Amino acid sequence: MPVFTGSFPPQQVGNYIVLTPLADVYDLHADNAPGVEIQYVRVNIFTTGSYKLHATNIPPMLRNAGLTITERRYIGHDPEAGYHHYVIEVALAVDPH
């Protein structure tokens, strides 16, 4: 499935994913030094077929890649474009040093 970052494809394709960066957050400790950086990304899934298939298959792949799933939800169907829109929000903790 094609993946785009922060933008939609210039032409219509059957199924695609758009990654939208949401935030990079530092977890602070008592010494005010960042202990960990948490990066949040929204995985927008657009499909003309059944969104249930992707909603079932993609989360295990994200977890196996070391990502934490923080939210999943169905946004809706756009009858004009013909796409179902499903969102999975993920977080990744990285060492800020």
Q: Give the model confidence (pLDDT) of 24-33 as tens digits.
A: 888 766 777 7
Question: pLDDT for 21-76, tens place per residue?
Answer: 999 888 766 777 777 889 999 999 999 988 899 999 999 999 999 999 999 999 99
Amino acid at 39: Q
Q: What is the pLDDT of residue 83?
A: 92
Q: What average pLDDT does the segment 7-23 reach?
A: 81
Which residues, at least 6 apart from 41, have a Cβ–Cβ distance to it below 8 Å?
A: 19, 20, 21, 22, 89, 90, 91, 92
Burial of 45 (0-12, 13-18, 19+ CB in 10 A): buried
- Report the alpha-carbon distance of residue 81 to residue 78 in Å, rounded: 6
